[in-house]
A and B are shown apart, each in its own frame.
Chain A
Amino acid sequence: MTTWLYDGSFDGFLSAVFDLYWQKKTDVVIRKEQDHVKGLFENVIFMPTITANADRVWAGLTKKLTEAVLQQLFCCYLSELPGEEDNMVGFIRHVFASEQDVSGDFGNKYVLHVTQLSRKVHREKHRMEAFVRFQLTKDNIYYSLVSPDYNVLPLIARHFKERYADQYWIIYDERRRFGIYYNLDKVETIRLQFNADYDPHYHTTGNVWAPEEELYQRLWNTYFKEANIVSRRNPRLQLQHMPRRYWKYLTEMRLG
């Protein structure tokens, strides 16, 4: 068994898949370079990313799969789960090996897996669309910090661009240390340098925020408190929809 390492990009993965076919390999596993811990007798090769090869694999898949299913495969990549490459390779092999469109072949474990994992990633995308909380800064930028389970920023950019077309905004992934920034024209990927004494979590004091910011957070918290019906109390249901790990990013949950 040989391990092929790629640079962690989606193209890098596809490029490695190209070589699987080119070199007719079946006893190879593909892994991200940055996640990899070398085993004692493991045979490891680094595979450089060749975009043209990646494009050929993608073009081949495009002929056999709908846009929606291609998106599902991409979601599996964004899940960043260790070893997920094995399922993606299994799926791609099944697609290329079959004459017909296999995307409804849920009796096949790879097809089912891709549907199910992409649903989870999609749910996280949906959660981010719900749980982003912007705070207005003095420089008129709506700023938000998140830490999604999967790498969903690439998936949510369009939603926020369409919705908040007339305001500057930043959504920053604290865990993955990058963010997306909309400049009233297009969305860019950015990295922020935080000062050592800066608390990246939200605070309403200091001279970072717009003067009205504190008022609207207070009004929102008031609204949130009053909308609750005490005699229907059901914290379990609340937790089920809004797991605790999201709370520190939610204006209305941070204080209570």
Chain B
Amino acid sequence: MERIQEKLAILADAAKYDASCASSGSNRKNTTKGLGNAHPGMGICHSYTADGRCVSLLKILLTNVCIYDCAYCVSRKSNDIKRAAFTVQEVVDLTINFYRRNYIEGLFLSSGIFKDPDYTMERLVRVAKKLRTEHNFNGYIHLKAIPGASDDLMREAGLYADRLSVNLELPTDAGLKLLAPEKSRPAMIQPIQFLKNEIIRLDDERKVLKKVPTFVPAGQSTQVIVGAAGESDMEIMHLASRFYRQFALKRVYYSGYVPISSDNRLPGLHSQVPLLRENRLYQADWLMRFYGFEPQELLNDTHPNLDTDIDPKLSWALRNLDSFPVDINKADKMLIARVPGIGMESLRKICAARMHGPLGWDQLKLMGVQLNKAKYFITCKAGALERRDLTSEQIRQQLLAQSHSKWVKAHSPQLQLF
């Protein structure tokens, strides 16, 4: 095997636990007849690995050499593994050649911390700068922001990257102390805060000045590991909600802990990746970001964890039957958004179509509403389809009997046996 292939194998393997794959939300056009563009709208997943995850970016580490020893990380100092490092030019060549063949949307470059944060960050920035200035590359670039690196380097990174991210990884302070005692929360928040302020400052300048360069146009994201440190779903979602609000993050990723260590502070090597839990967290995240739910509606002291049998919207609706039924033909859009079985696409259709005349069950079905769920919570032209005297528990049982959680079938081969 050639050396470059071996390096790629090592440094792709080490980078794959980062769940972020987004390549959307930027606005980098190819105006110079150069190479590539980054779309504001939908990102593109160019392939899917055997775990069903999307491959959108060339996601690699610059090096897996690291001076830290975070227990949950394969690259930790004390782990006995092969180490490798790319040169700046190697990363540039891989990116360009993969991009030209339409394998990828761009580069997601992260790194272990070698020497010190500035030294590491400087290398990451150099890759991005070279791609942009020497190769006229307009594809998507996501760089890791290394906590502790200087403001100047952060600012420079923001000029070339579409997205920057600092991973919080451990949702609770207790988890951080236990598994990554060398790291501190304030040190992680510092660059997030700095970048947020810079984004706002430059947005303001852009309103009055003409030539303000783009700065992290696709914003910041972060990732938390799920199930490594005994945290509850409530702790995770409240943290996510706080970061969405306080730092205007574009995305929070939830990454089910993949057992990679026999360290007894962590789940054992044979424990399962909490895929279902991870999926429920993503659903709850969507409900917060697009459906107008507050985190405490979904998760609170009485319900600190999401229901695994049913999705979080249905679970909320069953706890709040007094908010239903809603009238599809009259109710406010955001109330209909709360009905289980109605997604954003059917919501949009309902709101447009009802202006042309009242809608009945058949039409709702054709518009993609999952009536088996929605029917318990709505009325429409034909009146109520279901009896309204069912209790939450009865509805729940009926729904569970119909489909033993579609998700369990589709996403979790190991659960299929039951």
- Output the least CB separation between A218 and chain B (Å): 7
Q: Which residues of B contact A129 (CB under 8 A)?
A: 44
Is A132 located at the chain interface by the 8 A CB criterion?
yes
Is B94 located at the chain interface by the 8 A CB criterion?
yes
Number of residues from B at the complex interface, CB < 8 A: 61
- List CB contacts (< 8 Å) of B296-317 with chain A: none
- Output the least CB separation between B234 and chain A (Å): 25
Given contacts A219-B94, A235-B50, A241-B54, contact A106 B363 (CB under 8 A): yes
Query: Out of B36, B49, B256, B367, which one reaches A224, CB within 8 Å?
Result: B49
Query: Out of B30, B256, B259, B363, which one reaches A162, CB within 8 Å?
Result: B30
| Whole-angstrom CA separation of A115 from B346 in the bound complex | 12
Given contacts A133-B102, A163-B37, A236-B52, contact A231 B259 (CB under 8 A): yes
Interchain CB contact under 8 A, A107 and B357: yes
- Output the least CB separation between A142 and chain B (Å): 6
Task: Flag the segment in A7-15, A29-37, A43-51, A164-172 that touches B.
Answer: A164-172
Interchain CB contact under 8 A, A238 and B51: yes
Interchain CB contact under 8 A, B367 and A106: yes
- Output the least CB separation between A38 and chain B (Å): 34
Interface string of A59-101 (1 = CB under 8 A from B): 0000000000000000000000000000000000000000000
| Whole-angstrom CA separation of A134 from B8 in the bound complex | 21
- List CB contacts (< 8 Å) of A201-256 with chain B: 212, 215-216, 218-220, 222-238, 240-242, 250-253
Interface string of A144-179 (1 = CB under 8 A from B): 100000000000000000111111000000000000
Interchain CB contact under 8 A, B413 and A135: no
Number of A-B contacts (CB under 8 A): 171
| Whole-angstrom CA separation of A107 from B352 in the bound complex | 10
Residue on A nearest B21 in the bound complex, by CB: A227
Interface residues on A, range: 35 or more
Given contacts A104-B355, A165-B30, A229-B258, contact A241 B94 (CB under 8 A): no
| Whole-angstrom CA separation of A136 from B410 in the bound complex | 38
Interface string of B11-29 (1 = CB under 8 A from A): 0110011000000000001
Q: Give chain A's interface residues, CB within 8 Å of chain B.
A: 102, 104-109, 112, 115, 126, 129-136, 142, 144, 162-167, 212, 215-216, 218-220, 222-238, 240-242, 250-253
Q: Give chain B's interface residues, CB within 8 Å of chain A.
A: 2, 4-5, 8-9, 12-13, 16-17, 29-30, 33-37, 42, 44-55, 58-60, 94, 97-98, 100-103, 136, 256, 258-259, 272-273, 275, 349-350, 352-353, 355-357, 359, 363, 366-367, 410-413
